[in-house]
Amino acid sequence: MSDTPKEVAENFGNRFGDRVSVGVTQSGILTLEIGHEYWLEVCRALRDEEEFSFEQLTDLCGVDYLSHGLSEWDTEGASSEGFSRGVEGLGPGRFDWADRPESSQIERRFGVVAHLLSFRHNRRIRIRCFAPDDDLPIVASLVEIWNSANWYEREAFDLFGVIFEGHPDLRRIMTDYGFTGHPFRKDFPLIGNVAIRYDLEKKRVIYEPVEIESRVLVPRVIRTDSRYKTDDLDLAADQKAAQIAAEEPAGNPKAD
Partner 1 sequence: MAEIRNYTMNFGPQHPAAHGVLRLVLEMDGETVVRADPHIGLLHRATEKLAESKPFNQTIGYLDRLDYMSMMCNEHAYVRAIEELLGIEPPPRAQYIRTMYDEITRFSNHLLWIASCGLDLGAMSMFIYAFREREMIMDMYEAVSGARMHAAYYRPGGVYRDLPDQMPQYNESPWTKGKKLKRKNEWREGSLLDFIEAFAKDVPHKIDEYETLLTDNRIWKQRTVNIGVVSPERAVQMGFSGVMLRGSGVEWDLRKKQPYAMYDQVDFDVPVGVNGDCYDRYLVRVEEMRQSARIILQCVDWLRQNPGHVMLKNFKVIPPTREEMKDDMEALIHHFKLFTEGYCVPAGETYAAIEAPKGEFGCYLVSDGANKPFRVHFRAPGFAHLSGIDELAQGHMLADTVAIISTLDLVFGEVDR
What residues line the site for partner 1 (CB under 8 A)? 25-27, 29, 31, 55-59, 61, 63-64, 68-69, 71, 92-94, 113, 115, 119, 122, 124, 126, 146-148, 150-152, 172-176, 183-184, 190, 217-224, 227-230, 232-233, 236-237, 240
Minimum distance, C-beta of residue 99 to partner 1, in the bound complex (Å): 17
Decide whether 2 or 252 has the Cβ nearer to partner 1: 2
> Rounded to the nearest whole angstrom, what is the least distance from the CB of residue 220 to partner 1 in the complex?
5
Shortest gap between Cβ of 9 and partner 1 (angstroms)?
A: 16
Judged by beta carbon, residue 218 or residue 246, the one nearer partner 1 is 218
- The answer to whether 33 touches 20, Cβ cutoff 8 Å, is yes
The smaller minimum CB distance to partner 1, of residues 44 and 240, is found at 240
From residue 196, give the alpha-carbon distance in Å to each of 22, 161, 199, 210, 211. Answer: 46, 23, 9, 9, 11
- Residue placing its CB nearer to partner 1 in the complex, 37 or 241: 241
3-state secondary structure 179-212: CCCCCCCCCCCCCCCEEEEEECCCCEEEEEECCC
Nearer to partner 1, 12 or 91 (CB): 91
Question: Which residues are CB-contacts of 161 (< 8 A; sequence separation ≥ 6)?
Answer: 110, 137, 182, 185
Closest CA to 16 of 47, 41, 37, 53: 41
Nearer to partner 1, 79 or 230 (CB): 230
Nearest to 111 by CA among 87, 133, 82, 78: 133
Min. distance of Cβ 252 from partner 1 in angstroms?
Answer: 27
Provide, rounded to whole angstroms, the least separation between the CB of residue 137 and partner 1. Answer: 16
Instruction: Return the closest-CA partner of residue 137 out of 205, 211, 63.
Output: 63
Using only the alpha carbons of the chain, give its radius of gyration.
23
Q: Can you tell me the distance from the alpha carbon of 223 to that of 227, in angstroms, rounded to the nearest whole number?
A: 8
Half-sphere exposure of 61 (CA within 13 A, CB side): 9
In the complex, least distance from residue 38 CB atom to partner 1, rounded to whole angstroms: 21
CA geometry: angle at 55 spanning 13 and 47, to 5°? 40
Residue by residue, DSSP assigns 42-54 as HHHHHHHSTTT--
Least distance to partner 1 from the beta carbon of 27, Å? 4
Residue 37 or 169: the one with the smaller Cβ distance to partner 1 is 169
